[in-house]
Amino acid sequence: MNQTAQTEVVRLDGVAMRYATGPEVLRNIDFRLDAGSYHFLSGPSGAGKTSLLRLMYLAHRASSGTVRVFGHDIASSPRRSLPGLRRRIGVVFQDFRLLDHLSVRDNVALPLRIAGVDEPVIQSHVAELLNWVGLGNQLESKPTTLSDGEKQRVAIARAVIGRPSLLIADEPTARVDETQGVRILRLFEELNRIGTTVVVATHDQHLVDRFHHRVLRLEDGRITLERDGRAPALTREAGRVATPL
Amino acid sequence: MWQRRFDLPLGADGTTRFVPWLIAVMVYLAALALAAGMATADAASRWNAGLAGTATVEIAPASDRATTDERVGDALAILRATPGVIAATPISEAEVAELLAPWVTTGELPSELTLPRLIDVRFDPGTAVDLRTLGAKLSALIPGARLDDHGTWLQRLRALGTSVQIAAALVVALIAGASAATVIFATSAGLAIHREVIELMHWIGARDAYVARQFQSHAMSLALRGGVAGVLMGAATLAGFRALMGPSQGSLLPDVGLGPATWAALAILPLAAAGIATLTAKATVLRALRRLP
Ligand SMILES: Nc1ncnc2c1ncn2[C@@H]1O[C@H](COP(=O)(O)OP(=O)(O)O)[C@@H](O)[C@H]1O
Ligand SMILES: [Mg+2]
């Protein structure tokens, strides 16, 4: 693997995407996520944020263009190599996607079980992490008995239990109050500080403005703005895409 | 490496509750078909062993007894002089009458009925005897003599035995196919019901084999349960037949008793059902998962 592949966690070139035979919901997408970066993906509902994240966590294939994850061109990677790539990605799904028949403990343990980690190691890691997110006394609860805020934290714990290099969170603050939302984003900053690349999709512009991270703005399936995190004043319109309307 | 823990709640959805019942019925039918096939094969080989290497010479009664006795003596002489004949034994009139007894309702044979005389001939299995020539020679030299080598009878028995065995094998194969279809149906239902969970597992890095294993274990335990129940019912039915037929049925009727070979075949049935279920579930899941990106 060459040097660029090491520093580029995700790279999309000229990517378009559609669901089945429907219209393209993403068009002409170019961007890269460098290792250790923290990005917001903003834009109104229906802009294509979830769709773009699905491309990144390998739940969907691009209809054109190239998607590279950890330096691998996904279209030409053998199918058997994809689970290994997916295990390096932690995903917080917009609708949590917790398994209601499993306890909180088993939900969070799932990625480690899938990866074949030894059971004693799983047990200690899971207990430790659930303590860290403040759910140490809910290990045996079923997700259906939890509040949205608690479910969100279980979903986050499951996403990070495998120490992913890339953390993808889809609207992680949408179903919690602002204080909890800020706490969650701070928690992601801690993970980012120890080297995790973070992408957070949110339609909440207010929240985006509170944190000075890089921003990719999506509108109607196109990137309309890329803002550099360190200099929030120097926003620039993405030159290659003419803003519609 | 037996993992009892399932990520997928496969037993909880109720869609597979019918599977052990269907498998039980199918294994039951397979057990009967298998027992029938094996019993027929067994009987056919006994008929073969009993009749091959033997022949009967029939001599029509002449007008007077002395002539008939003389012809029997001539026939015995010819037979005993033929290379390959181990024994030629005249069957006494009393024995012939006894053979006919079951077909005569009154018990006493009418005295005016003159019976043919029979000679039981045994050949050395190592020597090829030309039965056609021997028969022609007997017929030519002794009026009213006829050699019956049981060939037609044996041929029909063999054909019947083979047909029954082919039918039994066909029935077992059809049952295996129906079992596989049942498992495909149940597995597809499970895949549809648990689609979201399966997708999630796929997205967080589960290999196809990991997901398939859970369906395999589930299908295996369902089929094993149904299979054991089915084979027990089958064994009970066969034991019932056996009891109905009474002990020792001579060699003519197929023996439906449970010999060691039949027991072994029956014991294999639930395992075969479990094996079919496991492989079918695996193939079904892997096929479905290949459609995920
Ligand atoms: N599973 C799907 N099948 C078909 N169309 C979809 C599906 N999911 C999303 N879309 C469409 O794709 C577009 C982008 O949706 P999405 O990526 O969910 O946007 P966002 O996350 O920014 O709200 C929308 O027009 C939506 O209707
Ligand atoms: Mg969305």
The answer as to whether B53 is a domain residue is: no
> Three-state DSSP class for A140?
coil
Q: Which residues lie across from B92 on neighbouring strands?
A: none
Q: Are B266 and B234 in contact (CB under 8 A)?
A: yes
What confidence tens digit (pLDDT) does each residue in A194-219 have?
999 999 999 998 889 888 899 999 99
Q: Are residues B105 and B215 in the same domain?
A: no
Q: Are residues B201 and B264 in the same domain?
A: yes
Q: What does pLDDT average to over chain A?
A: 89
Segments in chain B below pLDDT 50? 1-4, 249-252
Instruction: Select from A18, A19, A94 the residue to mutate for testing ligand 1; criterion: most ligand atoms less than 8 Å from CB.
Output: A19
Share of chain A above pLDDT 90, in %: 79
Q: Are residues B266 and B130 in the same domain?
A: no
Burial class of residue B13 in the structure, from the number of CB atoms within 10 Å of its CB (0-12 exposed, 13-18 middle, 19+ buried): middle
Weakest mean pLDDT among A147-161, A171-185, B107-121, B206-220? B107-121
Q: Are residues B228 and B274 in the same domain?
A: yes
The answer as to whether B152 is a domain residue is: no
CA distance A172 to A178: 11
Which one, of A190, A214, A219, lies nearest residue A200 by Cα? A214
Query: Which domain does B193 fall in, by range?
Result: 10-48+157-289
B103 DSSP 8-state letter:
G
How many independent structural domains does chain B possess?
A: 2
**Has residue A244 got a pLDDT over 50?**
no
Q: Are residues B131 and B206 in the same domain?
A: no
Interface contact B199, partner A, CB < 8 A: yes
Find the CB nearest A110 among B196, B204, B293.
B204
Q: Are residues B30 and B162 in the same domain?
A: yes
**Sign of the CA dihedral with B224 first, then B227, B229, and B232 last:** negative
Q: Are residues B134 and B273 in the same domain?
A: no
Q: Are residues B122 and B253 in the same domain?
A: no
Angle at A99 between CA B282 and CA B186, to 5 degrees: 30
Whole-number pLDDT of residue A241: 38
Tell me the residues of chain B between 202 and 241 that have a Cβ less than 8 Å away from chain A.
Answer: 203-207, 210
Distance (Å) from the alpha carbon of B9 to chain A's nearest alpha carbon: 7
Whole-number pLDDT of residue B109: 60
The answer as to whether B97 is a domain residue is: yes
Whole-number pLDDT of residue B261: 84
A·B CB contacts under 8 A = 49
Read off the tokens for B155.
């041929």
Interface test with chain B among A67, A74, A79, by most B beta carbons within 10 Å = A79
The answer as to whether B202 is a domain residue is: yes
The average pLDDT across A68-74 equals 96
CA distance B102 to B292: 74
Q: How confident is the model at residue A38 (pLDDT cuts 50, 70, 90)?
A: very high
pTM, two decimal places: 0.80
The average pLDDT across A87-109 equals 95
Distance A60 CA to ligand 1 centre (A): 12
Q: Are residues B30 and B137 in the same domain?
A: no
Find the CB nearest A86 among B7, B203, B290.
B203
The answer as to whether B4 is a domain residue is: no
Distance B195 CA to ligand 2 centre (A): 20
Q: Are residues B37 and B90 in the same domain?
A: no
Q: Are residues B112 and B177 in the same domain?
A: no
Interface contact B50, partner A, CB < 8 A: no
Instruction: Select from A17, A50, A52 the residue to mutate for testing ligand 1; criterion: most ligand atoms less than 8 Å from CB.
Output: A50
Final residue before a domain boundary, out of B98, B116, B143: B143
The answer as to whether B54 is a domain residue is: no
Whole-number pLDDT of residue B207: 96
Weakest mean pLDDT among A65-69, A109-113, B238-242? B238-242
Q: Are residues B43 and B172 in the same domain?
A: yes
